[in-house]
Structure 1
Amino acid sequence: MATTPHSPAVQLTEHALAYLHSAALRAAALLGVADHLADGPRTAEELATATGADAAHLRRALRLLATRDVFREDPDGTFHLTPAADALRSDVPSSMRDAVVMLTDEPFWRPAGQLADTVRAGRTVFEEIFGAPYFGHLERVPAAGAVFDTGMAGLAESENDPVAAAYDFPATGTVVDIGGGRGGLLRQVLLRNPGLTGILHDQETVLRHHTLDLPGLTGRWQTHSGDFFTTVPPGADVYLLKRILHDWHDDDCLRILRTCRTAMTRPGSRLLIVDAVLPQGNDAHPGKTMDILMMTSLNGRERDESAFRQLLGAAGLKPSRTIPTESTLSIVEAVAG
């Protein structure tokens, strides 16, 4: 029986081959194709010359991406930027190029290929593949660690200002960004709230590349190196945990949250968990995709409101409200219980 464009056979085949879209996207990002279209449309031959690629093969990869509105091909073979392709440029605000390279890098795609083994075992098989847990692997392989650091910073740039804008921060006081990476979220919070000071807490190797040294922030921030499993700066008014808890198993999350609870000595101190909050039902949500990535590589997970409430209660914290943002993330606010 012949198949139709929307038949189950075609649908399942497309799903089975979806990894080729990721592969084509990674190739375009690594070659810097979008950068070479910034001044206007170009043919595959022109792009191949500019990127050092084979013209025929490059066209085929870009043709596939154009089916998902990443680039557009004219009948004469000329390729254009689309809004999604423009975000692949390395020189635009909130560029996604580094994030795409990170999300399609070997430490994520190889464990995903063994998802069935993870589902059987009830845990990631990352260590069997790479010889160390995820973050241990990044420490042992500096090149992989650099891809992660730059990729996370790139991914966060599209989220930081919407998160900072969604919450009513106090007029004065101190904000601690725990595991805050290069400080993108803290930077936006301080820029939007001139009465606040901030502390960026992360590992020393990460803090060296912070982005807080701006004229408008002079004298309003400091860095603090440490391990959020054991200690964070005490006595702040607001603590931030952005894209941290989803990396970890519940037991590890409790260690982090209890460390935060111990540090929350100031009356009225608040903890803001910035993560995806999964909706119920069958509706699509980016967090449901990210949940599989967390499961296969890190033993982490994305959570719904009920799971956050359980974690917070076990850590001696009381959830007060959940605030949506103009990104895929929400803010789960908690106070000392």
Structure 2
Amino acid sequence: MEPVLQNNTLLSLAEEVQQAAAIECSADRSASSHFRLLGLLDRLRLAVESPTETVRRLIYQPPQNAALRTVIDLEVFPLLTQHPKKGMSATQLAEDTGAERALVVRLMRVMEGLGLCACAEPEVYLPTDKTIAFTQPIGRDGVPCLYDLAVPTLVQLPAYFREHHYLMPKEYSRSPMRWAVGQSQFEWLAQRKHQQALFNSYMSSRRHGKPSWFDVYPVERLVQDAEDHDGAAFLVDVGGNQGHDLIRFREKYPDVKGRFILQDLPQVVESASVGEDIDAMAYSFLDPQPVKGARAYYFRAIFHDWPDYICHRILQNTVSALRPGYSRIIIVDCVLPDTNTPLAQSSLDIQMMSIGSGVERSECQWRELLGAAGLEIQGIWSASPEMDCVIEAVPKSV
């Protein structure tokens, strides 16, 4: 057996896990304490694993993902949830899905290993508390959406870097995805209506049950001293898709005066049902911002899709519309810590780089990007280390 970390390190980690687990089971549990416990468990596993065991765990993740993608296609998880007590046999699953029984057995071994089902007796499968997530949009739509969208490019990513001398992709038009499959992310989705629907469903599901940006950000910073007549632009949601954020904001703050404006491409805003108190406006953030002097210009999950030069163009188009001393930019996006970056966030960064030369930025990178556009950060707010942050930026003081 290969050597592992020293016993005192392992025991110390186990003690930290025990203490964090006690908090998880107490009234003091919070998003931050939960996130810390997960991080400690990852560290504990690494401490227990031998180096070879770590290698094996990592190199067999691709077949696990492929098996999961296949099981989603077979719609196995909804079938399991219909039989919560007795479960379903491999024979029953084969009959209901049309798959060969032997294939079902082999796929379900992987699902059991991933904790997505239980196997109380040979070739009989029961749902677990994780199974239900794969019958809902987060798993049912998220798995095929991201697998089909990203994997063909990720498979070619090492070859892309070899051919491009290991230089980071910096142009959207020359992203690894365009090099590998001949299309950008948005072009690929636009030509595949089913995949676009999966993508929209998954993106919506990621926000389900999580606080909105205005639950994290102190909204009084916007409301205080804002112009209170109906003609003044209060909040402009740039690239806001169907306007869900504006609708929720209006529901929570119905007394806030001013105009609320949803901006997106013409084909997007044409289908948006936002109500009479929200103005839908066709607009591309690659063009100068037509709404001048609004209290706030809001961007949610926009900048991580794009390389720096396009982000700079978007910011410059917005800065030109700001009223000094009054307007500000609100950005809701990932802010990576400069050290000990969570694996999920660093993995997402690689994915964004591959499909569109996008970037998940650290706080230092955000300050650099915004500073180059003449902006300075006034504050960063977050409800949890794993959630997107809210960044407020204003023009630099002269």
Same fold (TM over 0.5): yes
Give the alignment partner of residue 161 of structure 2, picking from 111, 114, 119.
Answer: 119
> What corresponds to 2:188 in structure 1?
137
Superposition TM-score, scaled by structure 1 size: 0.84
Alignment of 1:326-337 (within 5 A): 326=384, 327-337=386-396
Match for 2:117: what amino acid? F
SS at 1:72's partner residue? strand
Distance 1:148 1:166 in 2: 26
Distance 1:322 1:119 in 2: 34
> What corresponds to 1:302 in structure 2?
360
Match for 1:67: what amino acid? G
RMSD of aligned C-alpha atoms?
3.0
Displacement of 1:2 after TM fit?
9.1
Displacement of 1:201 after TM fit?
1.9
**Where does the alignment leave 5 or more consecutive residues of structure 1 unmatched?**
none
| Contact 1:249-1:299 within 8 A present in 2 as well | yes
> What corresponds to 1:291 in structure 2?
349
Distance 1:53 1:3 in 2: 44
Label 1:272 to 1:37 Cα distance change in 2 as closer, same or farther (>3 A).
farther
Give yes or no for the alignment of 1:151 onto 2:197: no
Deviations along 1:176-218, whole A, 9 cap, x unmatched?
A: 22222233333333333223563332223333554x55xxxx4
Deviations along 1:74-132, whole A, 9 cap, x unmatched?
A: 23544344343322223xxx644222221111x31111112223434222332222223
Give yes or no for the alignment of 1:219 onto 2:276: yes
**Where does the alignment leave 5 or more consecutive residues of structure 2 unmatched?**
5-47, 170-174
Give yes or no for the alignment of 1:279 onto 2:337: yes
Give the alignment partner of residue 97 of structure 2, picking from 51, 55, 67.
Answer: 51
Percent identity over the alignment? Answer: 28
| Contact 1:37-1:81 within 8 A present in 2 as well | yes
Displacement of 1:152 after TM fit?
2.7
> What corresponds to 1:12 in structure 2?
55
CA radius of gyration, larger in: 2
Q: Tell me how many residue pairs correspond in the alignment.
A: 327
| Contact 1:325-1:331 within 8 A present in 2 as well | no
| Contact 1:277-1:330 within 8 A present in 2 as well | yes
Match for 1:293: what amino acid? Q
Distance 1:163 1:277 in 2: 14
Label 1:66 to 1:222 Cα distance change in 2 as closer, same or farther (>3 A).
farther
Alignment of 1:104-115 (within 5 A): 104-105=147-148, 107-115=149-157
SS at 2:281's partner residue? strand
Distance 1:188 1:84 in 2: 29
Label 1:115 to 1:181 Cα distance change in 2 as closer, same or farther (>3 A).
same
Give the alignment partner of residue 236 of structure 2, picking from 173, 176, 188.
Answer: 176
Superposition TM-score, scaled by structure 2 size: 0.72
SS at 2:130's partner residue? helix
Give yes or no for the alignment of 1:21 onto 2:67: no
Distance 2:294 2:92 in 1: 55
Displacement of 1:322 after TM fit?
0.9
SS at 1:113's partner residue? helix
> What corresponds to 1:35 in structure 2?
78
Distance 2:246 2:106 in 1: 42
Displacement of 1:168 after TM fit?
2.2
Which stretch shows the higher mean deviation, 5-14 or 321-330? Answer: 5-14
